[in-house]
Structure 1
């Protein structure tokens, strides 16, 4: 049974997504993000399945905007907004990700503000928006990543504002790390996320850098500043991880550790993310997965919600929690749980092979 809210259409409790749809969503994360996929193996089966569905829709949305022809990205965002509306109306588009999303939105009473924030961030990308300050950049990161952190928290059954604030911190930190890692790749695609005020302080003209992106001590200093900002948020997120259900903590801590390690790899490369792209080796990733089961000895004191993510936390407070999460994530009970475990064992064996010398 789900919460009563104008965000959600009245519809029968049977799920839209089939076993084949869930398999397609699982394949999307396996192909799209090795880091998230590795961390996801530590989630409980039902939570993992929902996370895959959410990831698949987010991945599809990002790809749809990135792959749109020049001048048509805005139209791609409009189409995504229409698909989101259909998912909330109980009439999802004919796609595994859309069917899985429709089930997730209703089952976990996810307020519409959260996925709409993601699409808003993609619309900013479509317009080629640039960011004057770190706060402006965090407002973007709140939309494309903080919103996902908040939705994942709801999928894990937690709606506490303090935990949601820390989940948003983690999402923003990951996005800042992504930006720090992809400075060169973004520039060659005509995209610029480094704060304009920082560039001006270093005497760097934005369009000149985009025309000829090259590694330099000045760009390296800006990358270091981004990583410092991310590190503060990674530390703040730890208290939120401790507030999650025990079975979910290792996976989220693993994602946090792996993404923070991307920052360490950038540092080891002299903060050059123009001529190279940092990658965490498989052996190191496996070690971080093992370490994720151990909580940090010290956790920072509670901190106020980032101003840039406060609207996401407030949106959750405005929507009642579901009285119970439907059991249809089990898709038939013990047989499916056994098959799911076999699949996870295969994926862990593949990760072990990747990390072997």
Structure 2
């Protein structure tokens, strides 16, 4: 037979085993060069927040670079969640499924970055790097991502406690990570509590400034109980004809902001000088935003409230002397709250 003795051309495929695969080497930053990640993060903060960029320059070099890396991750997560670019106009919301998919993408990329695996996104790779250097954890990241998830579901606060919990997720939890970046030990609960206060204060200033812009995007961050007390319906509260009544809520919101701002200054007193200076400068600048909204009354939203460069410089100078004196008075009432009071409870 002609085929006798011929070697068969058909071979049995070799099974794929772990011996045939080359594992990805775990490396903080996904294997990217640290300097390039820092450069990209600096670009992100300078485009995304002039106030944070100004305050960050007061840190020592290591802390400054780590703060940039953390900010870049927050900015990138926010952009993915809101389908926007560098904090610009909100993109088309799409379906609930699309929103859920975007949050899931943030979770997956963050988990991968914390596992020291490459993500193909410099902001997430940079987060993996700063997490490795400063001991940031998955739980810390999850608390922040929880805020993006709330926005994705169209959530709105029913009461003041809900609003504060939201502020914890989107800003207070970031303040806690920033404290770790500044070298605060995970065992120093008092300072971490006050770092959370600073984030809460920042976010309340944002809510006050952006209330009309947020309403145009279908978002409400003022408590429904507050609006109901003034006879305002969520969604209609920011209409031009309702601005006078809306402004009457600002003393309450800014008063709450200032309470947490004052508490945060007590925490800043426990930081090294340059970190203390930077934190106080940021507190002065963001506090000024809230107080400008309050001072303008019903005209607060005719144009966006900003702190111009010369005012930022003044707040930085004032913060320098505040940091030198280092004797903040604290809030008018005793501090009985901690960061744990603002985390979600079961079923929230």
Q: TM-score range by the shorter chain?
A: 0.7 to 0.9
Work out the CA distance in 2 between the residues paired with 1:243 and 1:80: 33
Partner of 2:51: 35
The alpha-carbon deviation at position 92 of structure 1 amounts to: 3.2
Match of 1:275 among 295, 302, 320: 302
Partner of 2:256: 229
Q: 1:44 to 1:307 in 2, by over 3 A?
A: closer
Deviations 1:198-244 (A, max 9, x none): 1100011113346x455522100112211110011101111100111
SS of the equivalent of 2:330 reads: coil
Structure 1 unaligned segments of length 5 or more: list them.
1-8, 313-357
Structure 1 residues 59 and 117: CA distance shift in structure 2, 3 A: same
Q: Which runs of 5 or more residues in structure 2 are unaligned?
A: 1-23, 84-90
Secondary structure in structure 1 of the residue aligned to 2:151 = helix
- Partners of 1:105 and 1:309 in 2: how far apart? 25
**Distance across 2 between alignment mates of 1:208 and 1:311:** 29
| Pair 1:155 & 2:181 matched | yes
CA distance in structure 1 between the partners assigned to 2:298 and 2:319 by the alignment: 26
Structure with more contact order per residue of length (Cα contacts < 8 Å, sep ≥ 6)? 1
Name the counterpart of 1:208.
236
- Which residue is 1:126 aligned to? 152
CA RMSD of aligned residues (A): 2.2
Alignment of 1:1-20 (within 5 A): 11=26, 16-18=31-33, 19-20=35-36
1:75 is matched with which residue: 89, 101, 107?
101
Alignment coverage as a number of residue pairs: 303
Task: Find the residue that maps to 1:269 and give its secondary structure.
Answer: helix
Q: Is the 8 A contact 2:27 2:116 kept in 1?
A: no
**Per-residue deviation, 1:126:** 0.6
Which of 189, 192, 208 matches 1:164? 192
- Asked whether the equivalents of residues 30 and 118 of structure 2 are also in contact (C-alpha less than 8 Å), the reply is no
Query: CA–CA distance in 1 between the matches of 2:250 and 2:75?
Result: 25
Distance 1:264 1:76, change over 3 A: same
Shift of 1:173: 0.7
For 1:14 and 1:229, locate their aligned partners in 2 and report how far apart those are by CA, in whole Å: 39
Partner residue in 2 for 1:184: 212
Partner of 2:5: none
Does structure 2 conserve the Cα–Cα contact (< 8 Å) formed by 1:173 and 1:231? Answer: yes
Greater Cα offset, 296-305 or 51-60:
296-305
Distance in 2 of aligned mates of 1:16 and 1:293: 38
User: Does residue 1:59 correspond to 2:91, yes or no?
Assistant: no
C-alpha contact (below 8 Å) 1:133/1:196 kept by paired residues = yes
Residue 258 of structure 1 pairs with residue 290 of structure 2: no
Paired residues of 2:29 and 2:117 also in contact (CA < 8 A): no
What is the CA–CA distance in structure 2 between the aligned matches of 1:90 and 1:37, rounded to whole Å?
Answer: 27
Q: Name the TM-score, length of structure 2 as normaliser.
A: 0.82
Contact 1:83 1:93 in 2 (8 A): yes
Contact 1:137 1:193 in 2 (8 A): yes
How many Å separate the matches in 2 of 1:129 and 1:183? 15
Aligned to 2:128: 102
Q: Does 1:44 find its partner at 2:74? A: no
